[in-house]
């Protein structure tokens, strides 16, 4: 790690060593990582990837830290957290381009403010634009794939690639980004103009529905499992009698069963035990396979 730290210092990229990742996840769970790096430009991201490739250190990227469970042992490697130029947005007549570190909720609200339709569904989804593109985030029968035009990506060798929407192989909570060591740098969305009053009201309605039906006042990662269509994961979990069930400081929410909340002092081990319990019970009692929507970090 001394070699990595020295190289980062020479490159001028800000970083912090030996950092607890619980402060960077919405679950407020996770052990130490060797260093968190904060590249502020495309050039600094490229420099980081070059350093990681040269030294062989494992690395990953993190946005708002939703949809992620970090092990109690942490992550032995480097975590990239985009800042600076990646927290920007630019509206045009036919849509918007946003940096990967930009808040998806803020983007949705701003689009509504300017009278653009297409991102109303995202008004209550925590996370960044980059994370949303990576996992094809969605809600209310819509998702990122329906409005994304293209994404600027850096591959594992530091090369910039522009991927059109068709190149991202979007699926349900899935994209090609998840299966490659690439970094989303910015995303461009094609949006249509509409009645600003209607769009703002629709965005507000979606956001308020999430506030009523999800435990947003407690730390969670969002939905734990993908919906086993045509069923909903929440109804499967509840039918197994697990709504409100807890292990340690982790509990299946009584507001929404597909959310595991940190009631205080929950560990990754507690959360994983609940996840595995739900998977076993769903198979045994309903012959349903629950597929995890959560990214597991630092687990063997």
Residues identified as active-site: 173, 223, 293
Kindly give the residue spans of alpha helices, DSSP state H, lying in 34-177. Answer: 42-55, 104-113, 129-135
Q: Are 270 and 281 in contact (CB under 8 A)?
A: no
d(CA 99, CA 179): 21
- 115: three-class secondary structure by DSSP: coil
d(CA 141, CA 133): 16
Kindly give the residue spans of alpha helices, DSSP state H, lying in the chain. Answer: 2-11, 42-55, 104-113, 129-135, 196-213, 233-239, 268-286
d(CA 269, CA 275): 10
**DSSP per residue over 12-47, as a string?**
T--EEEEEEGGGGSTT----EEEEEE---SHHHHHH
């Amino acid at each position: 790690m001394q070699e990595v730290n020295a190289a980062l210092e020479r490159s001028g990229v800000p970083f912090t060593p030996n950092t607890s990742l619980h402060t960077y996840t919405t679950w407020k769970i996770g052990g130490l990582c060797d260093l968190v790096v904060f590249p502020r430009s495309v050039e600094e991201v490229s420099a980081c990837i070059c350093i990681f490739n040269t030294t062989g250190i494992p690395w990953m990227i993190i946005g708002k830290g939703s949809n992620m469970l970090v092990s109690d042992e942490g992550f032995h490697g480097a975590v990239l957290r985009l800042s600076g130029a990646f927290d920007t947005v630019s509206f045009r007549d036919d849509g918007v381009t946003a940096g990967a570190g930009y808040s998806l909720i803020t983007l949705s609200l701003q689009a509504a403010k300017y009278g653009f339709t297409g991102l109303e569904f995202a008004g209550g989804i925590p996370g960044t634009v980059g994370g949303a593109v990576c996992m094809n985030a969605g809600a209310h029968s819509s998702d990122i794939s329906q409005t994304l035009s293209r994404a600027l990506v850096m591959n594992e060798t530091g090369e910039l690639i522009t991927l059109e929407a068709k190149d991202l192989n979007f699926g349900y909570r899935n994209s090609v980004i998840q299966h490659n060591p690439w970094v989303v740098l910015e995303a461009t969305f094609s949006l249509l103009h509409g009645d600003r009053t209607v769009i703002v009201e629709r965005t507000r309605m979606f956001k308020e529905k999430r506030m009523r039906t999800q435990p947003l006042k407690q730390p969670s990662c969002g939905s734990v499992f993908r919906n086993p269509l045509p069923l909903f994961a929440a109804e499967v979990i509840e039918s197994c009698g697990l709504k409100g069930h807890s292990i340690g400081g982790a509990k299946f929410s009584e507001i929404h069963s597909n959310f595991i909340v940190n009631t205080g002092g929950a560990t990754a081990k507690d959360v994983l035990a609940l996840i595995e319990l739900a998977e076993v019970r769903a198979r045994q009692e309903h012959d349903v396979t629950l597929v995890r929507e959560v990214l597991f970090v630092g687990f063997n």
